Structure 1
Amino acid sequence: MAPKTKKPEEVVIPEENIIDYALDELMGDRFGRYAKYIIQERALPDVRDGLKPVQRRILYTMNEIQLFHDKAYKKSARVVGEVIGKYHPHGDTSIYEALVRMSQYWKLNVPLSDMHGNNGSIDGDSAAAMRYTEVRLSKTAELLLRDLKKNSVQWAPNFDDSETEPTVLPAYFPNILVNGSTGIAAGYATNIPPHNFNEILDATIRLIERPHSSLDKISKIIKGPDFPTGGVVMGKEGILEALATGRGRVVIQSKTHIEDGNIIITEIPYEIVKQDLVKKIGEAIEDNPQMEIKDIRDETDRNGLRIVIELNKDANVEIARKWLLKNTPLQVGYNYNNVVIVDKRPQLLGMIDILKAYINHLGEVFLRKTKFDLVKAEKRLEIVKGLVKAVSILDQVIEIIRKSTNRSDAIEKLISKLKFSEVQAIAIVDLRLYRLSSTDVHKLTAEAKELENTIKHYKDIISDKLVLDQELIELLTVIRKDYGVERRTEVIDEIENIEIDFKETIVKKDYKIWISKDGYIKSLDQKYIAQNKLTQESFARKPHDMWISTVEVSSLDNLILVCSDGTYYLLPAYKISESKWKDIGMHINKIAPFSGENHILAVFVVKYFENAKQEILIASKKGMIKRVPVENLETKTFNRAFKIINLGADDEVVSASLVTSQTEYVVMLTKTGFTVKYDINEIPSSSPSSKGVKSTVSKNEDVVAGRVFDKNDELFIITERGGIKRIKQTLIPVMSRPKRGVRSFPVSVSKPDFASYAFNVKNGEKIAILDSSDVVTTLDLKQFKSQSLESKIISIDESGVQFAALKRTFIIDNGDIPPSPQEKDDSTVMLTANISSMMVNGKNIDEIKTEELMLDLDDLLD
């Protein structure tokens, strides 16, 4: 039997130990503390030394273990371990990444750590693990740490009070501006670009000499940011705004030159990963074959960065360069955001305010260091004077020391009997006898005199600000001479205009393009077709798909593809990649999404949208019809479909045709064979988002086509069971909208057939029919004569029609303007005014039986 377990005793918490908080207050308080911590102690740099806490602790740790620039390297893991254990109890990864970044010459103008081993690359490669790399301080970093032991800055206990650490480094150059900084905190972010070492020190010296110098004077010294990766900075206005307010925008451009007709890149924008840049340029080239850019090669080696963009002979080098600048990271914007920690608070500062804050810090550091040196010099002078005095009464000193019992006794007797100070007595007792020679006495006298001058100078520095300022100027002048770096980035006042007419980027080529109903597009060079004498009969196609249109275009043209779902695609010809002869072509999905249930009805070629005064007639299955101006179909993007008609439920587009100046009528055909003809001006012109107007009377009868007709067009009907009929459109009376119309073919009760497609045709045109057996048949209209309205359908294919298309190219002519709306002419009025004299198929209307006419007179008389 298992032993019984005792129930845990209930813990009772006294009410006085329970703190009652509202959740919003508690969360606000805790987040406020967290935000304050990451602002002050993690993400933002201090204006005085330009360092974040982790960077400061890394440098201080290396200074403590004496990893100076002229000493041997030590493992990076050793440094990281020291930092974690003593000052920064956070993850080793973040500390090592900070250490690595301070060694990367493409990130910092003046690297602060010198790393031996793989410290990453401009290609975005990660550094080797810290157990492999070795590190030490750079020579310039030692300027940040100089005089740290002279009580030049304030100190604070570390996280467990076992050590002390500096709250800021002395920083004998304005690191915040020389190396810049980036960081994101809670509610704050900083983005300070690096600047030229020489220019920043010159501006600092200028402000020390003349504290009231204007921004105009400073801007003549600081020309702008100076990035370690070089490049070209453009936009003087943005630089001046940033100098004044701390916020501004400039443009960074790669440095390029032309070599043997190719574009050579030797410098890239700051913080752009070279490998990603090359990849994005390659993708841009692949997606835009019209640019005539052959290839891109990265030829970077130990001699420097070099990226070669190889162009075709026909390419315009300057246009290609501008296009690359516009469409790739070869040119990027850079936004200043000079947020720094000032007196433990984040502030947005302009250039002069940052420099003045640094000068105040440098002055305070120099004063503290000078006071430290003064105390040391005064102590040394006291000792030297004691030694000189001891030499003058040497016999008495020796006698007292010889009679003393020990060191302490000797010190006390020298103080009491010969009136030496304690410091002097200690120095005398510890002095070696050989130092009492006459030579050393002269040296001591000279040293005392020198110390007196030094002490006087120190006191002048402390008491007179002009002397202090002069010392700072001399200090910075020497540092500039010894550590100065020449400017790498070129600064240009105006931002280059890289806006180009896109047509200029395209090298004109002539193509023949085939478009299928399911969205396949096949493009072939006209020269290639002519040289190889290729014919369409050898074309491959997807099962149950067929080529509905063949157009001859140049690479400067655009294609409008109207689809059954009421949308259209605008595709520049240059975006259609060339295909191989036996391929089925490129699917439109490569450019824009295309539904599998959707199909393309018509294709229109547009050379220019300016002055494209023609319109496209759209007809839907539910009888809606509209005209859409071509100029309203221009789009800025090509990666999606746009609406051309606002369709209702269960509706779809059945036809799309081009309205030209020759267009006179619109003919509608319903599924049951009723045909109605309207004057083109009966159909209003509207925007792509409109629904259109009703064209037929019956709500339950679907429309199979709505086509434009000129006076020479005829109506060609295809039925679902493979029947055809050709009718002169003059036999169809003109009506006012909406009407049901006249029957265009008789209906067989025993073997019913329904209209499937209708086209406006001219003699000599061809129509392609895809039947249910996946066979494409081409019909030449010369084989079929025109028939009367009452004549029967001619059966040519009993297998049924799956799809049909008129092989016609719609070219948008910029000079072609459709007729303006006008009043109906006499021929239209005749339908209602003189019906008794109306002739149908050569017979008087009185001679035709009602069932033969199949004309709704009520509709006609309305």
Structure 2
Amino acid sequence: MSSDVPDPSDVDAARVERVRVEDEMEQSYIDYAMSVIAGRALPDVRDGLKPVHRRILYAMHEMGVTSGSSHRKSSSVIGETMGDYHPHGDSAIYDTLVRMAQPFSMRHPLVDGQGNFGSMDGDPAAAMRYTEARMSPIAEELLEDIEKDTVDFSPNYDDRLTEPDVLPSAFPNLLVNGSSGIAVGMSTNIPPHNLGEVVDATIELIDDPEATVEDLMEHVKGPDFPTGANIVGRDAIYSAYSTGRGRLRVRAEYETDDDKIVITEVPFQQNKARLVERIADDVNEGKIEGVRDLRDESDRNGVRIVIELKRGANPDVVENQLLEHHLENTFGVINLALVDGQPKVLTLKETLEHYVEHRKEVVRRRSEYDLGEAEDRAHILEGRLTALENVDDVVELIQDSEDRDAAKEALIEAYDFSTDQADHIVRMQLGSLTSMEAAEIESEYEDVQERIERLETILEDESELLAVIKEELREIKEEYADDRRTSIIEDQGTVTHEDLIAEEEVVVVVTEDDYVKRMPADRFDPQGRGGKGIIGADVKEGDRVSKVFRANTHDYLLCFTNHGQVYRLKTYEIPEMSRTARGKSAINLIDFDDGEEITAVVATDEFEDGECVTMVTRDGYVKRTEGEEFENILSTGIIAADLEDGDELIDVEVTDGTKDLVIATEGGMTIRFDESEVRCMGRNARGVGGIKLQDDDKVAGLVATDEDDDNALLTVTRNGFGKRTKLAEYSTQSRYGMGLIDIKTGERNGPVATVKSVAEDDGLVLMSENGQIMVTRASDVSIVGRNTMGVTVMDVEDDDAVASVDVLPAATPDADDAQAEEASVPADDE
């Protein structure tokens, strides 16, 4: 190694700094993060602007592109901003200028744009060489008095110029126009507000520094978005104002009538074209039913999206489907801004407090500046007045001087003028020595003295300074405030899945292998008695229909099974399918055990006081359990009755303690007794004997009635025969007797399938084991006495049988006589 090159080991250690690499990385990242936070992403709490917004407006101010000037090419403004103040990409600067010109993005746009500045449909603005811009009038209020040393200035990026650290901001722009941005590890999302409300709240805080957030909310009702729409509920607004964070539900404004839904306002920052597209996709995919046509009729006058409904569609259901997926957005409020250069989450009160402090500083500095200017002017006027009082001597002294400098020195020596006064007097024109000019000078001097006194009062008395701030805020409100656009509506709860389901009467079919489905009840035209019906379910081989019942889609169903269990579900949870569909396995809805099947269903939302669930088993046991014991049913079900081996739960009725119970058997026997003979017992009880069964007879069904009941007992056998008999013909006797003959069963009729209490105008739904379904009128079934054969109600095939019957409480519309298939019944059937 050459002797001229030093050995590395001999290098002065003081020039080497040893650091841990993780410490260096941590500090470097923190420096970068703070640079992004303070220099790009977050607004200043005082003027509500990020550096790029502030620089664009200041560049326009320096260029003279104000609201009173002609528009200038946007490219010119961007070039000046980028070249003098903001050394970043021109596209980012132009995007900022575009947003400040969009009336759907800013509550009070700060830029007056001319040309294509984008749309609510997400259309981009035209290139900057095509558009023109100038400051809007309200933007000039942010820069008002900036030349009066009201704010601090710092050197620009290349030290050629200076730029303001903050704008004077004559109104609380942070709240009025809001802000959004993502920094490193934090983000801000401040909604816009109504200018008049914010001004009123600011004045309230000035008058009462102890005012609470609730007090300020008497003025600021909530955010006021430029696109209008509605905020749902007030709790989230209070949370946002009191903590600085909250989640607002923003709902579109729309009108609904029988044949269409018209959307007139959409949530803030909602892409209107994308909204229409997503609604159309859901309509095409069947997620939204009942829509016939969808049109966007929006123009420059406002939003108008028309959704035309199909004939017979339920407007409430379509409305709820739209609300769940399309017409409501969540606006997450994060009121994060820079306070003294540091990010801080602020409450409503804190935000206004920082603004008031800023305005106090601005008005104080402006007053000091104006006071200095006024005092300088008063000093000059005092010299002029002295000169006017000694005009002849002053003129002679100036004439006798060799030059202007000598004249100034002579004036200073003779009248004790200051250099500025002497310089001004020497430059005075002879015309200003007239008496009229003298009077004007005296008048101006008096005005200046008054102004000096006023400015000194403002600077000495904070209440006067605050009065100035309030007066200027009132002037801003008078000039620029407008009506609130966003309404605040009460929270009626979020849209639930139930709201999306049309409320309609349906027929539910259950098979022995636990396949289940529902179908609209109006899908089946009524037939005359004796008809074959139509396919109501495609039952797989080896399976049979076990139950058919009517329900409303919004009903809660208590499903009792042959094993004595009870389960609870909503009707709409049962899948809706076509007539010819087999159904879906009920295992997805109810956790059945092997061999378990639904034998009785009770539709009820809740039980009234005193109501009981009355049950009867295949072996003739009957029990009553208070309804309140069935109000909390587990997803896996609960025990309804403790059955003996081989016994099954057959039928259930809801009673109130005043009813008579009618138990019918498959062999055609019935017994009627007062339900009070059966005491209320717990769910785990077996029950007591209700009827004595003969030989191999089994219970077929249960009916609850009373003495004033004018209904008839409908009895239907498995071979499709049936009859109606007035309930009054069934005399009351003691519980656990043999009962009376109700219908002759024999070979023709077969065993009794079920019994029901029916009124004259009720409809009937009959279902066969092979899946045939038939709707008929109860009035078509003749009223006859007990111990008769009955008439053909449903024409079932030899290998088929009636499985279940249910009652439609309202009369079913009449069918065309041509559609009725009247069965030929021998005269001696009755």
- When normalised by structure 1's length, the TM-score is 0.60
Q: Which runs of 5+ in 1 are unaligned?
A: 1-8, 513-524, 529-534, 537-546, 558-570, 580-601, 618-626, 631-659, 663-761, 766-807, 816-862
Among the aligned pairs, what percent are the same residue?
A: 37
Which residue of structure 2 aligns with residue 408 of structure 1?
405
Alignment of 1:336-415 (within 5 A): 336-415=333-412
Letter in 2 for 1:198: G
Aligned residue for 1:205, secondary structure, equals helix
Residue 221 of structure 1: aligned partner:
219
User: Which of the residues 442, 447, 450 maps onto 1:445?
Assistant: 442
Cα pair distance change 1:609/1:478, threshold 3 Å: same
In structure 2, the residue matched to 1:605 is: 584
Task: Check 1:502–1:145 CA distance in 2 against 1; reply closer, same or farther (3 A cut).
Answer: closer
Q: Which residue of 1 aligns with 2:157?
A: 159
CA contact (8 A) 2:769 2:803 kept: no
Q: 2:467 aligns with which of 467, 470, 491?
A: 470
SS of the aligned residue for 1:297 comes to strand
1:127 and 1:11 map into 2 onto residues whose CA distance is: 64
Change (3 A) 1:11 1:495: farther
Partner in structure 1 of residue 664 of structure 2: none
Question: What are the within-5 Å matches in structure 2 for residues 26-37 of structure 1?
Answer: 26-37=24-35
Cα distance in 1, alignment partners of residues 169 and 406 from structure 2: 47
Checking the alignment, whether the CA contact within 8 Å between 1:56 and 1:168 is kept in structure 2 is yes
SS state of the match for residue 450, structure 1?
helix
1:143 alignment counterpart: 141
SS of equivalent residue, structure 1 residue 399? helix
After TM superposition, give the deviation of residue 81 of structure 1 in Å.
Answer: 1.2
Cα distance change, pair 76–553 in 1 and its aligned pair in 2 (3 A): farther
8 Å contact from structure 1 (residues 47, 342) kept in 2: yes
Write out aligned runs for 1:690-705 (5 A): none
The structure 2 residue matched to 1:456, chosen from 453, 456, 467, is 453
Partners of 1:616 and 1:266 in 2: CA distance: 56
**Displacement of 1:18 after TM fit?**
5.1
Cα displacement (A) at 1:432: 2.2
Task: Go from structure 1 to structure 2 and tell me whether the alpha carbon gap of 1:409 and 1:144 turns closer, same or farther (over 3 Å shift).
Answer: same
Specify the alignment match of 1:111 in structure 2: 109
CA distance in 2, matches of 1:215, 1:134: 42
Structure 2 unaligned regions, length at least 5:
510-521, 526-533, 536-540, 554-571, 600-646, 650-767, 772-798, 807-830
Q: Amino acid of the residue matched to residue 397 of structure 2?
A: I
2:248 equivalent in structure 1: 250
1:76 corresponds in structure 2 to 74
Instruction: Say whether 1:278 aligns with 2:257.
Output: no
Paired residues of 1:555 and 1:572 also in contact (CA < 8 A): no
Q: CA deviation at 1:300?
A: 0.2
SS for the counterpart of 1:408 is helix
Checking the alignment, whether the CA contact within 8 Å between 1:606 and 1:812 is kept in structure 2 is no
Cα deviation per residue 1:650-708 (whole Å; 9 max; x = unaligned)?
Answer: xxxxxxxxxx989xxxxxxxxxxxxxxxxxxxxxxxxxxxxxxxxxxxxxxxxxxxxxx
The one-letter code of the counterpart of 1:361 is: H
By how many angstroms is 1:326 displaced? 0.7
Task: Specify the code of the residue in structure 1 equivalent to 2:459.
Answer: I
CA distance in 1, matches of 2:76, 2:406: 48
Closer/same/farther in 2, CA of residues 476 and 550 from structure 1, 3 Å limit: farther
Deviation at 1:249, TM superposition (A): 2.1
Q: Distance in 2 between matches of 1:812 and 1:113?
A: 76
Corresponding residue SS for 2:344: strand
1:47 equivalent to 2:26? Answer no
Separation in 2, partners of 1:236, 1:763: 56
C-alpha spacing 1:375/1:501, structure 2 compared with 1 (3 Å): same
Cα 1:576–1:80 change in 2 (3 A) is: farther
d(CA) in 1 for partners of 2:769, 2:159: 100
Cα pair 1:604 1:812 within 8 Å, conserved: no
Q: How does 1:613-692 map to 2 (within 5 A)?
A: none
1:450-493 residue CA offsets vs partner (Å, 9 max, x unmatched): 11111011001001111111111111111111111211011124
Contact 1:284/1:327 (<8 A) preserved: no
SS of the residue 1:221 aligns to: coil
In the alignment, which residue of structure 1 is the partner of 2:487? 490
Separation in 1, partners of 2:80, 2:230: 41
Aligned equivalent of 1:599: none
The residue type equivalent to 1:145 in the other structure is L
- Summarize deviations over 1:592-633 as a string: whole Å, max 9, x none: xxxxxxxxxx964368977x575679xxxxxxxxx9999xxx
Match in the other structure for 1:133 = 131
Matched residue of 1:291: which SS? coil
The letter of the residue matching 2:584 is V
CA distance in 1, matches of 2:252, 2:351: 29
Shift of 1:573: 9.7
Residue 184 of structure 2 aligns with which residue? 186
Task: Return the letter of the residue paired with 1:402.
Answer: Q
CA displacement at 1:376 relative to structure 2: 0.2
Retained in 1: the 8 A contact 2:544–2:770? no
Shift of 1:416: 2.0
Measure, in 2, the Cα distance between the counterparts of 1:11 and 1:50.
58
CA separation of 1:139 and 1:574: change in aligned 2, threshold 3 A: farther
Query: Does the 8 Å CA contact 2:575/2:584 hold for their aligned counterparts?
Result: no
Q: Normalization by structure 2: what TM-score?
A: 0.62
Cα RMSD, aligned residues only: 4.3
**Cα drift, residue 275 of structure 1:** 0.8
The residue aligned with 1:743 is: none
Structure 2 Cα separation of the partners of residues 578 and 387 of structure 1: 107
- Equivalent pairs, count: 571
Out of 53, 63, 66, the position equivalent to 1:65 is: 63
Counterpart CA distance in 2 for 1:812 and 1:81 is: 84
Cα shift readout 1:246-283 (whole Å, capped 9, x = no counterpart)? 11222111011125621110001011111111111112
Q: 1:126 to 1:399 in 2, by over 3 A?
A: same
Distance 1:417 1:261, change over 3 A: same
Shift of 1:339: 0.8
Match of 1:429 in 2: 426
Superposition deviation, residue 42 in structure 1: 0.8
Moved more, 372-381 or 417-426: 417-426
Shift of 1:200: 0.1
Task: Compute the displacement of 1:365 (Å).
Answer: 0.2
Q: Alpha carbons of 1:198 and 1:556: their partners in 2 closer, same or farther (altered >3 Å)? A: same
Q: Tell me if 1:333 matches 2:330.
A: yes
CA distance in 2, matches of 1:38, 1:554: 65
